[in-house]
Homo-oligomer: A and B are copies of this chain.
Amino acid sequence: MPHRSSHHRPAAEQAFLAEYDASRYPHPSVAVDVVVLTVSEGALHALLIRRGDHPHKHRWSLPGTFVGISESLDDAADRVLTGKASLPGVFLEQLYTFGAVHRDPRTRVISVAYIGLLEIDRLRRALGELESPVLARLRVPWAGESGGPIEAVGPSDDSLPLAFDHADILGMSVKRLRGKIDYAPLAYEFLPAEFSLRMLQDVHEAILGRTLNKDAFRRRLLASGDLTPTGRLQTDVGHRPAEFYRYGHTRRSRST
C-alpha cells in the first residue's frame, strides 16, 4: 500500500535514530512466510497450518520460518518448502514485507512473504506425508485488484480463523497474482506439463475470480506464440477431445 510520509517528528527522536548503531540496539527478528498456492476445482487454495502453541493457538497460519543469520531470504523461503513438505523445484517469488510493530504479540517480527505456486496433484502428494496442514479455499471479497484481507474457508464453507496478519498476506498474494497473470507465465505453474486450453482458461478464471470470453482467450493465447501443440488429444471425455499444449515458444521453421 502506498502511503505518504508523515509530518515532522520531534528533533530528539530524529537525532536518536540518526545515531542508531546496528550493534548496540536490539534487532528485530526476521521471518519468511510462504503463501503456497494452487488451483483446485476452479478456485485458488492456500496451504495453512494449524498452530499448536500460543499466540493464536488453534488459529491457522502460513508455513514459515525464521531467517538464519547466514542464510539469504530466498534460501529461507526454499527451506520452508524443501524442509517441511519435501517440495523442491517450486516456483517462488518474493511478495511483500510486513513490518507493523505489533503484528506478532510476542516480539518484533518482520516477515518477508513469498508466494509459491504449484500443481494441485503434486501438492496433495507432498501433503499426504504430513498431518496438520490443510488446503483452504480462498474467498476474495473484492473485485479486480482492489486488495485487502481475504478469507480462507474449510471444506464445509466455514471460515478458518487466521493467525497474525496472514489474512492480509493472503490478500496481497491474490492481488499480485491477478496483476501479473496477463503478462507473466504464472498460470502454467498450476498445471501439468501438458494441458488443454480449457484447463488453462479455468486457471485464469480461478485467479481472476471471473469468467473470461472463451473465443478471445483462445485467440490471445495461441497468438502469443507461447504455446506449443503436442498433437496429443484428451481421451475418455465423452465429447470431442481437446488437444494438449505445452508451455514454450513454438520453434519457427528455419526456411520461412
Say whether A5 contacts B89, CB under 8 Å: yes
Question: How many whole Å from A191's CB to the nearest CB in chain B?
Answer: 16
Say whether B27 contacts A69, CB under 8 Å: yes
Chain A residues 88 to 142 lying within 8 A of chain B, measured CB to CB, are 88-94, 96-97, 99-101, 107-110, 112, 116
- Closest-by-CB residue of B relative to A103 is B72
Of A43-51, A74-82, A248-256, the stretch lying at the interface with chain B is: A74-82
Chain A residues 1 to 44 lying within 8 A of chain B, measured CB to CB, are 1-9, 14, 17-18, 20, 22-23, 25-30
Say whether B6 contacts A88, CB under 8 Å: yes
Partner of A68, one of B7, B17, B107: B17
Say yes or no for A224: interface residue by CB 8 A criterion: no
How many of these chains are in the complex? Answer: 2
Bound together, the chains give a CA A79 to CA B8 distance in angstroms of: 9
Residues of B near A67 (CB, < 8 A) are 28, 99, 110
Question: How many whole Å from A218's CB to the nearest CB in chain B?
Answer: 25
Question: How many whole Å from A153's CB to the nearest CB in chain B?
Answer: 27
Say yes or no for A70: interface residue by CB 8 A criterion: yes
Say yes or no for A228: interface residue by CB 8 A criterion: no
Question: How many whole Å from A186's CB to the nearest CB in chain B?
Answer: 9
Say whether A8 contacts B109, CB under 8 Å: no
Say whether A17 contacts B92, CB under 8 Å: no
Residues of B near A29 (CB, < 8 A) are 22, 27
Partner of A78, one of B6, B82, B89, B110: B6
Residues of B near A97 (CB, < 8 A) are 73, 94, 97, 112
> In the complex, given contacts A6-B75, A9-B82, what are 5 additional A-B residue pairs having Cβ atoms less than 8 angstroms apart?
A8-B88, A14-B79, A25-B68, A72-B100, A73-B110
Closest 4 CB pairs of A and B: A73-B99, A27-B27, A2-B93, A5-B78
